């Protein structure tokens, strides 16, 4: 076989060489493009805040912080408050994260830790990912015509038996927090499962082999080694899933009931900021535009705050795991 080594080395015989003018220009252009994309993203976010804030400013001056602490939304008397919407947004999202997040992590473990052969795991993974492709309105229709009738007998039995517990203090007459939470859990499951799978797959095989070599069972290795090692990625999936739940609109507008009150009951109708905006804007009068924009700003601030706090905690958790 011919030796082509001398043809691939620089003429001076050195193994390395400085970048050519083209390579240097290509690298610099790539850096400029990525910097421009980052700056453009920040400017776009500032522009959104500015446009929403400009239209919400009159309502902010008129209603102040009382807008955040009252539950009345009455266009006839110009009384507006979104405490019920804030409560419903956070309550439904946290419940969905509790159920959908746990289920998503469990699915990720099931698909990546050798419980299925590769072909069957691929089929299950495809099915889970297809859940993300279902339109929100289809989830809403399924919830109305299938889910609510199916869970109503159980919900009413829980009310009749355990009505002294605040979570079961009302009956499920129709749309309510519980069916909305179940649908929201299903909608965030693909996000949590997909990112958690990537986190588990990124763990070097040597770590798992070392755990098994020390005599651990599969479940002990998963609980004490795999999950702690992948905790940064798992937390990232939960943060993204929570952000997805906060902004969900159509399915919640169809299933949650749009009732202006604050309650712990899982079977009572409620409302969210996104469903308020979706259901009110099409027929909003001039006197409602300002309050609705104010509500949109609050939703945007809540979503950004959740993501920023989640990112900070995720970075801290990752550093702790490394050390």
What tens digit of pLDDT does each residue of 68-107 get?
888 888 888 888 888 999 999 999 999 999 999 999 999 9
Domains of the chain in start order, with CATH, are: 83-322 (1.10.3720.10)
Measured distance CA(264)–CA(91) in Å, rounded: 9
Cβ atoms of residues 81 and 66 within 8 Å = yes
Predicted local distance difference test score (pLDDT) of residue 1:
47
Predicted local distance difference test score (pLDDT) of residue 247:
81
Residue 121: exposure state from Cβ atoms within 10 A (0-12, 13-18, ≥19): middle
Task: Give the three-state DSSP class for 35.
Answer: helix
Question: What is the tens place of the pLDDT at every residue in 214-245?
Answer: 877 788 888 888 888 888 888 888 888 888 88
Measured distance CA(139)–CA(189) in Å, rounded: 13
Predicted local distance difference test score (pLDDT) of residue 113:
80
Instruction: For Cα atoms 81, 85, 90, give the angle at the middle one, nearest 5 degrees.
Output: 135
CB atoms closer than 10 angstroms to residue 220? 14
Task: Give the three-state DSSP class for 11.
Answer: coil
Question: What is the tens place of the pLDDT at every residue in 306-315?
Answer: 888 877 777 7
Residues 6+ apart with CB under 8 A from 159: 168, 169, 170, 171, 172, 267
Dihedral over alpha carbons 38, 43, 49, 51 (to 10 degrees): -140
- Position with higher pLDDT, 83 vs 207: 83
Whole-model pTM? 0.82
Q: Is the pLDDT of residue 128 over 60?
A: yes
Buried-state track 149-173, b at ≥16 Cβ within 10 A, e below 16: eebbeebbebbeeeeeeebbbbbbe
């Amino acid at each position: 076989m011919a030796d082509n080594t001398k043809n691939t080395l620089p003429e001076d015989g050195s193994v390395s060489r400085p970048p050519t003018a083209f390579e240097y220009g290509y690298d610099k252009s790539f850096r400029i493009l990525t910097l421009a994309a980052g700056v453009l993203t920040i400017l776009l976010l500032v522009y959104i805040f500015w446009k929403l804030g400009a239209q919400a400013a009159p309502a902010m001056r008129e209603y102040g912080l009382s807008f955040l602490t009252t539950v009345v939304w009455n266009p006839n008397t110009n009384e507006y408050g979104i405490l019920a919407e804030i409560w419903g947004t956070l309550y439904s999202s946290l419940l969905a994260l509790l159920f959908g997040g746990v289920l998503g992590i469990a699915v990720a473990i099931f698909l990546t830790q050798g419980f299925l052969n590769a072909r069957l795991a691929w089929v299950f993974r495809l099915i889970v990912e297809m859940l993300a492709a279902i339109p929100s309105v289809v989830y809403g229709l399924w919830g109305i015509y299938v889910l609510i009738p199916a869970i109503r007998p159980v919900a009413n039995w829980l009310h009749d038996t355990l009505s002294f517990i605040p979570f079961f203090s009302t009956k499920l007459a129709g749309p309510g927090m519980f069916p909305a939470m179940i649908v929201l859990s299903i909608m965030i499951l693909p996000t949590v499962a997909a990112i958690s799978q990537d986190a588990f797959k990124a763990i070097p095989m040597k770590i798992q082999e070392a755990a098994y070599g020390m005599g651990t069972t599969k479940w002990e290795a998963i609980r004490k080694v795999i999950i702690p090692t992948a905790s940064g990625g798992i937390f990232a999936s939960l943060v993204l899933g929570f952000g997805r739940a906060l902004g969900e609109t159509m399915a919640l507008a169809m299933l949650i009931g749009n009732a202006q009150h604050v309650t712990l009951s899982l079977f009572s109708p409620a409302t969210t900021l996104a469903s308020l905006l979706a259901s009110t804007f099409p027929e909003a009068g001039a006197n409602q535009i300002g309050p609705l924009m104010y509500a949109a700003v609050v939703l945007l601030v809540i979503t950004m705050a959740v993501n920023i706090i989640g990112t900070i905690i995720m970075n801290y958790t990752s550093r702790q795991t490394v050390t």
